[in-house]
Amino acid sequence: MIRNRVLLPVIMLFVSICTFSQTETPTDTLPDPEKEQAMAMVEAVEYYFNLLGSKRTKTREKETIINESYKKLFIDDRVQVEDDLQEDRSTQIFKDIQAYLKDIDFFFKEVVFDFEINSVERLYTADSTPYFKADITRNLNAIGIADDTLKISGQRFIELNFDGPQREIKVASIYTNKIDRERQLRAWWLNLSVGWKQIFQDEIGIYDDSLTVDELTRIAGMDSLDLSGNGQVVNLDPIYVLTDLSYLKLSNSFITDLSPLLSINRLKTLDISETSVHDLSALKYHTDIEDMVLHSSHVTDFSVLGFFEKLKRLNLMGSQFDDLSFISSFTTLTDLNLKGATGTNSIDYSGLVNLRNLNLEGSDINTLNGFERLAELKELNLEGTSVKSVESLATLQNLSRLNISSTEVSDIEPLVGIRALSRVYVEGLGLEDAQIDNFVDNNDALLIRDLASLASWWEGLSPEWQTLLTAQLNMANPSTEELVRLLDLDKLDAKNAGIRSLEPVSRLTKLTLLDASDNNITSLVGVDRLTELITIRFNNTNVTDLSPLKLLTKLETIEAENTRVREVRSLNGLTKLSYLNVDGAALSKPNANALLNTIPGLKLRFQTGALMSWWNGLSEDMKDVFRQNASITAQPTSDELHALVAIEVLEVNGPIDGKDLESLEELVNLKSLTLSRTGLTSLSELPNIQTLTSLSITETPFNDLNSVLRFEELTELNISNTAVTDLSDLSVMIKLKKVNFSGTTVKRLRGLERLVNLEVVDCSNTRVARLDGLFLLPELKQVICFNSKLNAKDISSLKAAQPKVEVIFY
């Protein structure tokens, strides 16, 4: 609504003009509608300037003009306007349009602009592009912020260009004497102090006193500037050239005045910590600011921060105020630092729902009211405060790091259920052992109690472990503080290190890879705390039990070759596990099969010797069959054979011996078996493969349905074009959903009437003469019965009994 109200006079100004067609007139002596539009645009600029200069215009309306509405009048945000709001400037300075608009509001209590239009000319550039140049007398009458009066009158020129496919006329520049960018930069550099020149020379690494245009342009294009600790500059006056500046650090400098920042429109990060700056009013239109560092500053009025709708990070460390309630409205904050601050209890934290990091260390906070609403909070530091209870944190399931050291907290039970926790600092709390054990047993976070315990842990390590970890730190005698680095290790190669226990690794919770192969270890105790672990190797050890790995849900690779492992059931929950090598261990086939059924896609290597013997014992016919169904080389590798026995689908086309069926016992994941033109009459020699759900035996003299009954999980059976004459044996196979006996001599459907899960029956090209056995099947969906002994009456009877069944008959 504000923007529409601001634009209404301008829109009315254009209504009468835009009804004319835009026809270019070659001379200024004839009426020119486009020139009239250019004149109207000049008047619109005057109107906008006066809106900004009026004390009756609300701040939000001014903000809309500066950040949005100006786009209706100006080509873009790079439009250059001569800085002419003060008298007797010794140097001609140009500013981006937004910076100029800010100056109108900032430097005057009230100001009135009067544009006397002397002429408007249509001109052409060297490449014949038309543009307009307005010659005006700009009269300025103002009351300054110090109640001084100001009257400036003089000639100005306004250039206007055509913009976009609609050829809208917009302002391109405003000036008294046109100056090109090169001359402006050279003049700017010439007037810089030695201190400022040194700063910019350090930034670009060039120390000539006279810089080229390209080098000056590089400086003008800088997007970050660090003046922290700089004692050579006391003001920011030269900064108006750095129009792309988004990061500015002024900490511990002599800067006191931020008004030059009115020239900067893209600022996102500002650090004025440890400065004498006390006034933030020059920042009120910097609505893109995301990061403010104000600790140890002299600022007492923070109202300007209310304009920062994108503010994400605020540092008020050490601020000493009774009331910080203004922070309650900063709902966009993700990071808030109030370390050592007072007045922290006055903040309503419940509205700061985007907070991810909150530092209240050493502050005066004593209660955590409203914290239960901070669902996004990841890090919270309460060290050295008077907080007594963490009950309000119990629901913060994204909280990963919490510091409650040296507080008055006596119960950490509410934290047990926060599964995202990775570290909890509880130094100096004097917690009972029972509380500590309960937390450690029920939460994977590292509970950091004190550095003394880390030192004690180190002292308790065997010489072999100390030698190993010292090498990781790359120092001979690490201090206690340096030992903390071990907690951040992500890879540890302990292969053939002479260690006898893995318990010390329980402290190294960030490990993603651990190789403990070729050591005389018997247990994985200690590894169970490594929740980030992705790969573990302990080949050629005496390990027997894998249960310490059962909660390491990120594990992808386990290598336990030549160990004493007998069972792998404890790995069932490791859904990301993709490779397990227990070759040379004592793992049984049933245990292996159970794991393969639990974790789809797992590559399990556990019986290389047995599989090699199995392959060598196959007939050449069966080797050919397997080569047709899997990628097998002439001399199969262990991985190829393990992949072969894990296949789920096998197709056999052509004659085989019944004895060859016995070799299929190794196919532990086989779900679908197709036997076509094999010459088999029975499947009695086919192993009882419990995973089999689909069986097809076709175009063969097969007649022994009884040999199929062992496969209780079958849902699909195809016996088309076989010698089967009677289906009655199928009555016990109640899981069947599809049965195809087309091309057989079957006459009756006896045996199918009990198959309550049957959905599809194919009895085409048979002698079937009745369908009443299908009338009561509840799941039946399709019957294929063409070229049989059935007639139309039989089909009608079926449809009457099963109206939803599709019947294919002709």
Q: Are residues 548 and 402 in the same domain?
A: no
Which one of 67-71, 173-177, 371-375, 603-607 scores highest in mean pLDDT?
371-375
Q: Is residue 618 part of a domain?
A: no
Q: Are residues 229 and 373 in the same domain?
A: yes
Q: Measure the CA–CA gap between 64 and 743, rounded to whole angstroms.
A: 82
Domain stops at, among 414, 447, 480: 447
Looking at residue 94, its pLDDT comes to 78
Q: Are residues 238 and 172 in the same domain?
A: no
Q: Is residue 190 part of a domain?
A: yes
Q: Measure the CA–CA gap between 311 and 268, rounded to whole angstroms.
A: 9
Looking at residue 745, its pLDDT comes to 96
Q: Is residue 92 part of a domain?
A: yes
Q: Is residue 457 part of a domain?
A: no
Q: How confident is the model at residue 692 (pLDDT cuts 50, 70, 90)?
A: very high
Burial of 247 (0-12, 13-18, 19+ CB in 10 A): middle
Q: Per residue in 412-445, pLDDT tens?
A: 999 999 999 988 998 889 888 788 878 878 998 8
Looking at residue 360, its pLDDT comes to 98
Q: Are residues 201 and 230 in the same domain?
A: no
Q: pTM for the full model?
A: 0.51
Q: Are residues 398 and 366 in the same domain?
A: yes
Q: Is residue 622 part of a domain?
A: no
Q: Is residue 611 part of a domain?
A: no
For residue 532, give the nearest of 503, 546, 502, 552 by alpha carbon: 552
Q: Are residues 510 and 531 in the same domain?
A: yes
Looking at residue 91, its pLDDT comes to 55
% of the chain beyond a pLDDT of 70: 95
Please check the confidence at residue 10 and state whether its pLDDT lies above 50: no
733 three-state secondary structure: coil
Q: Are residues 336 and 402 in the same domain?
A: yes
Please check the confidence at residue 14 and state whether its pLDDT lies above 80: no
Average pLDDT value for residue range 466-479: 88
Q: Is residue 598 part of a domain?
A: yes
Domain stops at, among 606, 627, 645: 606
Looking at residue 723, its pLDDT comes to 97
Average pLDDT value for residue range 184-195: 89
Domain stops at, among 188, 221, 254: 221
Q: Are residues 188 and 79 in the same domain?
A: no
Q: Are residues 232 and 207 in the same domain?
A: no
Q: Are residues 48 and 189 in the same domain?
A: no
Q: Are residues 264 and 155 in the same domain?
A: no
Q: Are residues 284 and 324 in the same domain?
A: yes
Looking at residue 89, its pLDDT comes to 58
Q: Is residue 263 part of a domain?
A: yes
CATH code at position 166: 3.10.450.50
- CA 576 to each of CA 566, 608, 646: distance values in angstroms, whole numbers, following the listed order: 22, 24, 18
Please check the confidence at residue 279 and state whether its pLDDT lies above 80: yes
Q: State the virtual CA torsion across 513, 514, 518, 524 in degrees, nearest 10.
A: -140
Q: Per residue in 717-735, pLDDT tens?
A: 999 999 999 999 999 999 9
Q: How confident is the model at residue 54 (pLDDT cuts 50, 70, 90)?
A: very high
Tally of domains in the chain? 5
- Tell me the residue range of the domain where 563 lies: 489-606
CATH code at position 657: 3.80.10.10
Average pLDDT value for residue range 760-776: 95
Average pLDDT value for residue range 449-473: 89
Residue that has been written with the tokens 């020699």 in this structure: 685
Q: Measure the CA–CA gap between 44 and 49, rounded to whole angstroms.
A: 9
